Structure 1
Amino acid sequence: MTSKVISIVLGGGQGSRLAPLTQTRSKPAVPIAGKYRLVDIPISNCLHSNISRIFVLTQFNSASLNKHIKNTYHFSTFSTAFVDILAAEQTPTSGGWFQGTADAVRQSLHHLATHDFEYVLILSGDQLYQMDFEEMIQKHIDTNADISIATIPVHANDVPGFGILKTDEHSMITSFVEKPKKDFESWASDVSDEMKAEGRIYLASMGIYLFNRKLLYELLEGNDHPDFGKEIIPQAIVGHKVLSYQYEGYWTDIGTIPSFFEANLGLTDDIPQFNLFNKNQIYTRARMLPPTKISGTLIDRSIIADGCIINAAHIIHSIIGIRTRIGTASEIESCYVMGSDNYQTLEEIAEAKVTGAPIMGIGDRCSIKNAIIDKNTYIGDDVKINCGEPLPDGDFPTHTVTDGIVIVKKRAVIPSGTVI
């Protein structure tokens, strides 16, 4: 069954809602949980579902994503499995940049032509969830559907952010509306008793689509519509069997700074909704890092990745990423510290101390709360970040403030004594 499936992971557009994290990297390459990348989520879901032919489509800031894919997903020489990057390109029939989700797949169809497949699974690169796609594919086959759309019940206040659909008694989609702002009460659907009890009575598209090969080619080559959600799917409902595959597990779109921050810190819960600690582990780049070293630090409700050197006073409700250094008597609360791509040598650290320059990581006696610290930052001693009232939004040379969350930019240098 899955041997006839090819998966396409959509790398997303410019990712402006995740700025400044997307200033130098594409959205799928943004680090999560201290050691993974966003793109690892859909790829891991595919691999656990025995789907091992995967294309990742991207066009903005793709260098770090290319490097991650190249260093992570290696398969046997005798296997047909692959994870390949398809970047926007100029060809005799294409002018260049992807204009939307459907246009991205349309421009990439010629790369699929040499493969044997019957179904195309299209996924988003900026969502956090764990799903068995084999069940979705089997349901698609059993119902003789032309298209299947993964859907999730949502509350009324979530409706304006999603494509909302209605189904018949056979779970076939009869109508679809993209992000309705008002008068959507009639769009309530038949959901499970558990979902009804939670008030989640509207079915939202998760942006996960399964197409029969022939129909996908017909829909994309027959017009120039750029998006699946806005144009292709609503038109396909008329005259085709479009199945709603209802999913009731944890799923979140982490395309904004607040949702990204909340999803990451949610991983520190005693029993997180997205569970990293189960048999379906998230695949990522294997790094030969030393174990983390901690001295004199109180740690509570936190995740500490490999290769860290920590002397902080306390770390509470935070994620500390790979190779992070935190100095003596520093306090970290409700933060995501992404870590570093390399270590400074002892000579470099000694030289920095002589000149008074910060070393990579977080210095001594710092107090940092409600912040995202991007990779390879240099934060000096006695730095205070967001320790008082929530700050107004703004963009500055070393940091950005979004919804009260301070994001220290990648490679930023914060001098000792700075207060943000």
Structure 2
Amino acid sequence: MAMKRTLAIVLAGGEGKRLMPLTEDRAKPAVPFGGNYRLIDFSLSNMVNSGYLKIVVLTQYKSHSLDTHIARTWRMSGLLGNFVAPMPAQQRRGPHWYLGSADAIYQSLNVVYDERPDYIVITGADNIYRMDFSQMVDYHIASGMPATVAGIRQPIELADQFGVIKEKDGVVEEFLEKPKNAEGLDDDPSVVLASMGNYVFDTKALIEALRKDAANPDSKHDMGGDIVPYFVERGECAVYDFKDNIVPGSTERDRDYWRDVGTVDAYYDANLDLISIHPIFNLYNYDWPLLTQTDPLPPAKFVHGDMGSRMGHAVDSLVSEAVIVSGAEVTRSVLSPKVAVHSWAQVSDSVILNSAVINRRARVHRAILDKNVVVEENASVGFDHELDRSRGFTVTESGITVVPKDAIVRA
């Protein structure tokens, strides 16, 4: 019954400044990931696999490619009343765009009034994980609380990057925003319980909280910073521990995997998490599929088998449709659709996005090449960081070079 009375809201309006230049021309949830996917596909796959087929996606910044992807890929049966609907900022509450995640939902309450759900599930659109939200909703209902926040165990040294939950007997006692001196859990002092940005609310209670928040001139109108503390202060917020979520087909190694890809380094690391022999995030779990739609493309092709001078091969890598590796060497990398790697080129420890071309004798190492990048013959990326910076490319603190969309890398 709860499944039929539940509306899902996916927050996809973030600007994604920390993921620049990958978000220079696209919304963060539209950033490609893992070859075939976009970041939003993970949240939407989790919702659909959980049985929630009425989904609103709240968009705002640079949303054209995101809206197009949703419209082409995430089509539901209107006959059955199911939908995945992108919903841009509409200025229903005044001449301003979304002021924060809570204001985004407040401005979109018309869809809540139309659907009249008893429960609302809210999640972000840019994290990599698998989760059965129906288990969290069942937990929420059983708790009797009007609000539930999902928590995940994270190393205590990362506490200042998250909202940290202090709980007792399943009730949130404190919600600390990026604390500098966090205390570890009783059963494991080396970790804290961090907010995943996933919530379940009783609809009436959420509407009341949003209305009060909208009337508060001192509020930042943020779900984690304002709405959750509102319920915590009233002793009305339960916590759901992500480790208790059992997804079909998961293993002990990957079942509680969750990665916030809010920075370029985190995005890079999450992509490379996919390519090990026993990955800590397994794309090949067919019991909980990651759903998307790609263009009708031919299979990948590896050509030239000359063992002496050139042989097209890729090892410890993900290779997508229509990739051509022609007499080149690819190691520990993710190649997105329609990438071409030409003879004697070398690609290692890199993430190559759609339609990039690496020409003869070019070298790419520890780099992210955005869509349509061309690396000219004999050019290199990722070996000389000062040279990369002088070309206008981004180099992260960990040494990952990011080449923006449509750039040409010359020798």
Shared fold per TM-score greater than 0.5: yes
Distance in 1 separating the partners of 2:320 and 2:203: 41
* Partner SS state of residue 275, structure 1: coil
Contact 1:167–1:189 (CA under 8 A) maintained in structure 2 = no
Matching residue within 373, 377, 380 for 1:377: 373
Distance in 2 separating the partners of 1:70 and 1:230: 31
Contact 1:312–1:331 (CA under 8 A) maintained in structure 2 = no
Contact 2:152–2:196 (CA under 8 A) maintained in structure 1 = yes
Deviation at 1:414, TM superposition (A): 2.1
| C-alpha spacing 1:18/1:392, structure 2 compared with 1 (3 Å) | farther
Contact 1:146–1:240 (CA under 8 A) maintained in structure 2 = no
| C-alpha spacing 1:167/1:410, structure 2 compared with 1 (3 Å) | same
Contact 1:394–1:402 (CA under 8 A) maintained in structure 2 = no
Deviation at 1:326, TM superposition (A): 0.9
Match of 1:250 in 2: 257
The one-letter amino acid paired with 2:325 is I
Contact 1:25–1:65 (CA under 8 A) maintained in structure 2 = yes
Q: Deviations over 1:75-106 (max 9, x none)?
A: 22412111111111233x32221111111111
State, as a whole percentage, how many aligned pairs show the same letter. Answer: 33
Q: Deviations over 1:105-130 (max 9, x none)?
A: 11111122111311111101111110
Deviation at 1:394, TM superposition (A): 4.8
Q: CA RMSD in A?
A: 1.7
Match of 2:351 in 1: 336
Report matched runs for 1:52-201 at 5 Å: 52-91=53-92, 93-169=93-169, 171-182=170-181, 184-185=182-183, 188-191=184-187, 196=188, 200-201=190-191
Distance in 2 separating the partners of 1:272 and 1:263: 11
Using structure 2 for the length normalisation, give the TM-score: 0.90
Contact 1:190–1:201 (CA under 8 A) maintained in structure 2 = no
Match of 1:400 in 2: 394
* Partner SS state of residue 259, structure 2: strand
| C-alpha spacing 1:301/1:138, structure 2 compared with 1 (3 Å) | same
Deviation at 1:43, TM superposition (A): 0.3
In the alignment, is residue 306 of structure 1 matched against residue 314 of structure 2?
no
Contact 1:174–1:237 (CA under 8 A) maintained in structure 2 = yes
In the alignment, is residue 264 of structure 1 matched against residue 263 of structure 2?
no
* Partner SS state of residue 25, structure 1: coil
Q: Deviations over 1:356-379 (max 9, x none)?
A: xxxx61111111100001011222
Contact 1:339–1:361 (CA under 8 A) maintained in structure 2 = no
Distance in 1 separating the partners of 2:13 and 2:155: 25
Q: Deviations over 1:49-77 (max 9, x none)?
A: 00111111111100000110011012224
Runs (5+) with no aligned partner, structure 2? 244-255, 304-310
Report matched runs for 1:221-232 at 5 Å: 221-224=211-214, 225=219, 226-232=221-227
May I ask how many residue pairs the two structures share in their alignment?
384
Single out whichever of 272-281 and 63-72 deviates more from structure 2.
272-281
| C-alpha spacing 1:312/1:60, structure 2 compared with 1 (3 Å) | farther
Distance in 2 separating the partners of 1:79 and 1:412: 45
| C-alpha spacing 1:392/1:237, structure 2 compared with 1 (3 Å) | farther
Using structure 1 for the length normalisation, give the TM-score: 0.88
* Partner SS state of residue 121, structure 2: strand
Distance in 1 separating the partners of 2:141 and 2:387: 52
